[in-house]
Structure 1
Amino acid sequence: MKISALNHLILLLLLLISQLAALGQTTVRGRLLTPKGKPVPGASLAIKDSYDGTTTDSTGRFQFETTEKGRQLLQVTAIGYKPVEEWLELNGTPVELKLTIKEAIDELKAVVVTAGSFEASDTKRTTVLSSIDVVTTASANADVTAALRTLPGTQQIGEREGLFVRGGSGEEARVFIDGTLVNNFFYSALPDLATRGRFSPFLFKGTVFSSGGYSALYGQALSGALILETIDLPDQSSASLGISSVGLSGGYQHLNKKKTASWGANYGYTNLYPYFQLVKQRPDYFRIPAFHAGDANFRIKTSKTGMLKFYSTIQANQLGIRTPDIDSGSLKNSFGLTNYNIYTNLAWKERLGKKWKLFLGTSYSLNQDDIENRLQDQDNKDQLIREQPYVSKSFDVDARGSLLQVKTVFDRRLGSGLSVLRFGGEWLYFKDDVKFRDTIARNNLQEDQFKAGFAEVDVYITNNLAAKLGTRVEHSSLLGRANMVPRLSMAYKLGEKGQASLAYGIFYQKPERNQLLLNPDLRFTKAAHYIANYQVINSSYTFRAEVFYKKYEDLVKTFPSTNNSGKGYAKGIEFFWRDKKTIEGVDYWVSYSYLDTKRDYLNFPGSLQPNFAANHTASLVVKKFITKWKTQFNASYSFATGRPYYNIRFDQGANKFIVADQGKTIPFNNLSLSVNYLPAIGRSGANSFTVWVLSVNNVLNQNQIFNYNYSYDGLTRRPIRPAANQFFFIGCFISFGVDRSQDVINSNL
């Protein structure tokens, strides 16, 4: 009886405690709809600076409990919609809400992978990767282009800088910031080592990656275009500080009281000496890589609809590498680089009346590489051997390249619908001054005034059928040639979120600087793109499938003479799947690409698969944020089948180039992990944001071989491998005056 009475007492106490807890909570419930009354599933709702929130179901309904009291701010976010904020009075009485959220039509807020830059409805048909996605992709190390390599159509290249897209070389994909071309987006090239991009992903609010069939507003890229748009005014003034295992950074951004103008500046210093002390490098760095980067910006709201943006960066870096000489067992190659880079961009957007928009942009870039290459003995003393192949291994090069560009685009809305006419022009002045100092001093100066006019129209035939038709007319004073390039895209809406689309276009590109040194009379190289695409996007998942065919013409051949007799093709199929709902709290994406490509260009003796092209590539990216631990766990795995390698040598007897040796590298495998810890979530961190980052690339320490180098006589073959199998990074980054914690949380809800 005593035990029974005790049980009843415990049960009574538990009921009392549960009732008291219930009295301390407020139920928030309701429905989220579009202005047309359609439900919005998968939207995230959260009380600001708390862990209380939920997501909407398939009918747009939501319900959650909160222990917060008084006046609180409810924040609502959904992919493809403008954020909504609603003030609530929480006092224990249930709160009933009917919320409306509008679609975000005009702003680019994510990476775009598409069969041409068109829209099938009033929302952008995109594959979504935000700035947060870029910095939390484990293998990317906060590099925009490294994150893009987890998407279909790109290659896993570790020995050269650039984006290698659908059988194209790194030079055939171009990068644009605020509408204008960036001449040196990547750090300067190094022997058999890839370099990263120069710009932070948080500089950009919009990122469009077109792996083919891109808009007529852009040109001079055979393979693809990465189109970046910088942020507008910040939400508030803030300062930042970063301390990591490879350097320091700091910055300040000021927003005026009227929130009509801002200015800011940042500085970063990177030195790899601490990292090199912990991780042994294959090359002998006699000059440890050190990087200085400073930037400044201002942004002015010129009217209710106008925005003037300025951004400028000055960067300097230096390094020196010694590697064993492949033609001798006792000699070394010593490579030294000092680089200076300036980039400045000024862009203005304004609405002219109800139907007109104006964009005016100008940019200037200057890049200077001072290179010294020496043949040295085991005591690191310079050696000058005046016979092949050693005579060409001692040289100095001063390469100075600049680009000035001005671009204007007018938008004219047609009628009362979504159809738009765009037209404009651009002028680019290239100047390349290359000075060689080896056995014979010589200088080469190239100047080109490149002019282009373009026009394209978005035509909405019905609500379900749209087309984009465009053309460009281009002229190069250096080549003394002009061309006209048509572009066409069509899309048909299938269901609520799906669409099928087709794209076709002709794309031209000037030959590279070193090719024009051999023959200044070369023509434009040419590629034709044919693309068919199907994709479905909603708030929970994205599915995309695409097939493509590219035909190359007028590629540069260097034997028997330097001319435009080269040709080739690339074809394949790609799949992309991103899912935020199936596994609770987990965001992941999977990509796969099949590529069949061959080229007859440069000194190729015939049609060969280029050594930068793998037949199969795949990536898996997984992200999980655990709110209780204030920690995000990220994993990224990339795979690629072996790439071909060749020893192409000149056969004196046959008087032609032959493939003396060939094969395929081992498959590429890379598993990377990163952990982000956010200790300042909650009220104590309302005006600050702190994140600790720990990342490891190639966790399993798998061997990676990107290609092979051959000796002059062809008897020695040496693998091209990364400087180190693994990369480790640890850092702490603090923002004062702004809290981005909710961005991280919402990206994983």
Structure 2
Amino acid sequence: MVYIVNQFTFALQSQFMRAFFLLLTFLIATAAGAQKISGTVRDGKGAPVAGASVSIKDSYDGATTDSLGRYSFSSTETGSRLLEVSAIGYRAVTQPVQLGGAPQTVSVQLKEEVTELKAVVISAGSFEASDKKKATVLSSIDIVTTASANADVTGAVKTLPGAQQVGESEGLFVRGGTAQETKTFIDGTLVNNFFYSSVPNTATRGRFSPFIFKGTVFSAGGYSALFGQALSSALILESIDLPEQSSGNIGVSVIGVSGGVQKLAKDKKSSWGVNYGYNNIWLGFQLIKLRDEYFQIPEYHTADANFRIKTSATGMLKYYGTFSYNKLGIRQASIDTLGYKDAFGLNNHNLYHNLSWRENIGRRWKLNLGASYSTNRDDIRSNLVDAQNKEQSIPGLETRNFDLNTKGRYFNAKAVFEYRLKGLSALRFGLEHNYSDDGSDYVLFNGQRFGGTIRERITSVFGEGDIYLTNALAARVGLRAEYSVLLGKANLAPRLSLAHKLGAGGQASLAYGEFYQTPERRYLPAPVTLDYAKATHYIAQYQRIANQQTLRVELFYKKYQSLLKTGITGGREVATGSTGYGDARGFELFWRDKKTVKNLDYWVSYSYLDTKRDYLNFPTAIEPSFAAKHTASLVVKRFVPSIKTGFNASYTYASGRPYYNIGYDSNQDKFKLTDAGRTIDFHSASVSVNYLPKLFSKKGASRFTVLVFSVSNVLGNQQVYGYRYASNGRRKQAITPPTNMFVFLGAFISFGVDRSEDVINSNL
């Protein structure tokens, strides 16, 4: 038995040794025929790329580069083959090699892969807040928790550099431009009458709630070729898509009540919603001292409706519509006749519809369609009344008694096609049509009436390309062409932006663009041929965003040409030509910090503006009355999670603005400057407290409540926006806010969605 085992063991050992020698012979023979391949892998700047994978395609032969970018391996493959090189963050490269001969040295250069996480952002002139951009500055929560904004989109935007603090007129005045030179867009289409109708010497707020928007872009200049007819700046808003779940809401405050519902379908592919609000300022006026006398307390009815349908995995159809009706009546002491008052009454009806659809229509194609339609009607009555509020007609002041009815219809449609190139590069092009119909009926004290209708049709075509050369270098090149039926003229507006990445989170940008705008309708029709107003923008910017901190420094220069000039014809001011001109230059700084102190968020902005223009009735080029040389804002937000309470404060400063009395000399048929000065500096501090208790829940249905208390201009600083003059120019009166201080108290309850965590996270 032992002998048999020994014989078996010997036989096994003999077989193993024979196999070992055969394998060794094969390996030696193989090694003798193998070819060595070595080299280096570097990036576009010549720096070594460590950890790159280098291999022969469809084989197991390859290696990985060391810290110096070097690699070396042997291969038994022969003939014409492909060498594949890849590394994270770089584009893969294949390079042909001829194997079977002497050792080869193959060096490869890799180009950086352009990715959204690493790429530079084209941002000169623009503050962006959306779920698509890294440069988030203001979100919906930011807007409603900014103490001085009073939940108004433009109120929060005014804390950003570039925007002026103008309290006597609604709108955004940006970098030396008028409010008419800033346009607002929702889902790509133009919004007419974004603000409530004008009240003499008093700014009105925007019509739209900040909570309907998921993205906000405030471009103080140099904006995209997709938008036009805005000489100075653009406010671009994107509405929300489908809600997370069905919900309801109720609001109660000292100035009104509101309520609404948002219903999400069970398959989560569609939703609809309606809201209604009623505001009456009576109670607020009882608590504060007013500058003026209101014979009709401001009263507002607002309603809106929406639906959203997910048309495919990439498509979304959205509709949003609003209706508003408001009325007010105000009496102000007449500066022309002591003991008398100027009475102003306003009834306003406004209707707005917006329909948009976006869809991927191919592997690389995307389509965005949008259309908006709105109507606006103002019924205005002006009277001179005595101490008993009875209408009077005083010789020389009869024109104070009149009725003015205006009606406007507006339609805007836009189609944008986008083609994605390699990486983040893309081409966008499309067309836009804008139609407006403005009618007015002006009835004087003696029954004489005049007015008419101004119709305009503007057709535009545009194209734009985003070109990403590397993650660190990108360009946006655009061109827009417009044709105005009213002017009978066309324009061509080139746009160019460059962005270069500087270190982690930093980048430098340059922008250039030409922008055109048709004349303001209130000065039309004109007895002469007019032209487009033109502005040329030059912008240089440095921006750094890292670790919840944002720094922006921007220089700009803006040159105006062909501005509208006016004169007196038939007793009214009308356009007389397009010979006006001007310029604006300045420096802006923005710093936001959400990192240094836990649960504390603050930002600081500063603007320096040097501007002059000769337009409308200006006798020469002067600094416009809406421009302050120095403007600064500080916004501070402190959220305390343990008690779910946010403490917010803001402070705004603006240096004194110029004011003028420009009178018309009928003998010389020209305007003359008869008085000039500068207002006192503007100071305003505001505070607010937001408390977020969950009052009760029932079977998992959350009831989320926000209690809001805010005080605007809490220190009661005196504010003067300018001066109004008597008809003879001998007396003047300061234009001040309706009240030095405004107090707001309200409670807002949502049913079905607990938003407390959203609010907490937005403040961390």
TM-score by shorter chain over 0.5: yes
1:383 is displaced (CA, Å) by 1.4
1:743 equivalent in structure 2: 758
Q: How has the CA–CA distance of structure 1 residues 448 and 655 changed in structure 2, closer, same or farther, with 3 Å as cutoff?
A: closer
Q: How has the CA–CA distance of structure 1 residues 113 and 742 changed in structure 2, closer, same or farther, with 3 Å as cutoff?
A: farther
1:472 is displaced (CA, Å) by 0.7
Moved more, 552-561 or 594-603: 552-561
1:570 equivalent in structure 2: 584
1:123 is displaced (CA, Å) by 7.1
Distance 2:277 2:314 in 1: 34
Identify the match of residue 255 of structure 1 among 264, 274, 278. 264
Confirm whether residue 451 of structure 1 aligns to residue 466 of structure 2.
no
Identify the match of residue 302 of structure 2 among 293, 306, 325. 293
Partner-residue secondary structure (3-state), 1:333: strand
Q: Structure 2: which amino acid aligns with 1:551?
A: K
Summarize the alignment of residues 161-560 of structure 1 with structure 2, pairs less than 5 Å apart.
161-385=170-394, 387-388=395-396, 390-414=397-421, 416-438=422-444, 439=446, 440-519=448-527, 521-559=529-567
Distance 1:738 1:178 in 2: 25
Identify the match of residue 709 of structure 1 among 724, 743, 763. 724
Partner-residue secondary structure (3-state), 2:470: coil
Q: How has the CA–CA distance of structure 1 residues 123 and 396 changed in structure 2, closer, same or farther, with 3 Å as cutoff?
A: closer
Confirm whether residue 665 of structure 1 aligns to residue 674 of structure 2.
no
Q: Structure 1: which amino acid aligns with 2:543?
A: Q
Partner-residue secondary structure (3-state), 1:722: coil
Distance 1:425 1:470 in 2: 13
2:634 equivalent in structure 1: 620
Partner-residue secondary structure (3-state), 1:699: coil
Q: Structure 2: which amino acid aligns with 1:460?
A: Y
Distance 1:294 1:243 in 2: 16
Confirm whether residue 643 of structure 1 aligns to residue 683 of structure 2.
no
Contact 1:645 1:663 in 2 (8 A): yes
Contact 1:625 1:632 in 2 (8 A): yes
Distance 1:434 1:638 in 2: 38
- 1:216-237 CA deviation, whole Å, 9 max, x = no partner? 0000001100000000000000
Contact 2:441 2:452 in 1 (8 A): yes
1:690 equivalent in structure 2: 705
Distance 1:714 1:118 in 2: 43
1:532 is displaced (CA, Å) by 0.3
- 1:322-365 CA deviation, whole Å, 9 max, x = no partner? 11111110221110000000000000000012200001111100
- 1:361-404 CA deviation, whole Å, 9 max, x = no partner? 1110000000010111111111123x43x122111111001111
Confirm whether residue 723 of structure 1 aligns to residue 738 of structure 2.
yes
1:651 is displaced (CA, Å) by 4.0
Distance 2:200 2:251 in 1: 30
2:18 equivalent in structure 1: none
Contact 2:381 2:404 in 1 (8 A): yes
Distance 1:117 1:282 in 2: 38
Structure 1: gaps of 5 or more residues: 1-102, 107-111
Asked which structure has the greater CA Rg, the reply is 2
Contact 2:497 2:509 in 1 (8 A): yes
Contact 2:192 2:374 in 1 (8 A): yes
1:634 equivalent in structure 2: 648
Distance 2:649 2:676 in 1: 35
Contact 1:630 1:681 in 2 (8 A): no
Q: Structure 1: which amino acid aligns with 2:614?
A: D
Q: Percentage identity across aligned positions? A: 58
Q: TM-score, normalised by structure 2?
A: 0.81
- 1:125-146 CA deviation, whole Å, 9 max, x = no partner? 5251110000000000000000
Q: How has the CA–CA distance of structure 1 residues 605 and 324 changed in structure 2, closer, same or farther, with 3 Å as cutoff?
A: same
2:97 equivalent in structure 1: none
Partner-residue secondary structure (3-state), 2:250: strand
1:588 equivalent in structure 2: 602
Contact 2:360 2:367 in 1 (8 A): yes
Contact 2:407 2:440 in 1 (8 A): yes
1:105 is displaced (CA, Å) by 7.4
Contact 1:143 1:200 in 2 (8 A): yes
Distance 2:123 2:294 in 1: 42
Moved more, 195-204 or 125-134: 125-134
Q: How has the CA–CA distance of structure 1 residues 555 and 713 changed in structure 2, closer, same or farther, with 3 Å as cutoff?
A: same
Partner-residue secondary structure (3-state), 1:558: strand
Aligned length, in residue pairs:
637
- 1:85-127 CA deviation, whole Å, 9 max, x = no partner? xxxxxxxxxxxxxxxxxx9879xxxxx99415699xx973525
Contact 1:104 1:123 in 2 (8 A): no
1:681 is displaced (CA, Å) by 8.6
Contact 2:372 2:412 in 1 (8 A): yes
Distance 2:274 2:246 in 1: 12
Contact 1:114 1:125 in 2 (8 A): no
- 1:273-322 CA deviation, whole Å, 9 max, x = no partner? 00011112111100000000000000000000000000111100000001
Q: How has the CA–CA distance of structure 1 residues 114 and 686 changed in structure 2, closer, same or farther, with 3 Å as cutoff?
A: farther
Distance 1:266 1:696 in 2: 27
Moved more, 277-286 or 339-348: 277-286
Contact 2:122 2:499 in 1 (8 A): no
Partner-residue secondary structure (3-state), 1:216: coil
Instruction: Provide the alpha-carbon RMSD of the alignment.
Output: 2.0
1:406 is displaced (CA, Å) by 1.4
- 1:470-499 CA deviation, whole Å, 9 max, x = no partner? 011101111111111111001001112111
Structure 2: gaps of 5 or more residues: 1-114, 569-574
Q: Structure 2: which amino acid aligns with 1:610?
A: P
1:649 is displaced (CA, Å) by 1.8
Contact 1:118 1:458 in 2 (8 A): no
Partner-residue secondary structure (3-state), 2:389: coil
Distance 1:633 1:371 in 2: 41
Distance 2:133 2:506 in 1: 12
Contact 2:126 2:218 in 1 (8 A): no
Contact 1:453 1:474 in 2 (8 A): yes
Distance 1:105 1:290 in 2: 48
Q: How has the CA–CA distance of structure 1 residues 432 and 654 changed in structure 2, closer, same or farther, with 3 Å as cutoff?
A: closer
Q: How has the CA–CA distance of structure 1 residues 683 and 296 changed in structure 2, closer, same or farther, with 3 Å as cutoff?
A: closer
1:658 is displaced (CA, Å) by 2.2
Partner-residue secondary structure (3-state), 1:534: strand
Contact 1:118 1:468 in 2 (8 A): no
Distance 2:476 2:206 in 1: 31
Q: Structure 2: which amino acid aligns with 1:291?
A: Y
Partner-residue secondary structure (3-state), 1:734: strand
Contact 2:384 2:391 in 1 (8 A): yes
Q: How has the CA–CA distance of structure 1 residues 640 and 717 changed in structure 2, closer, same or farther, with 3 Å as cutoff?
A: same
Partner-residue secondary structure (3-state), 1:502: strand
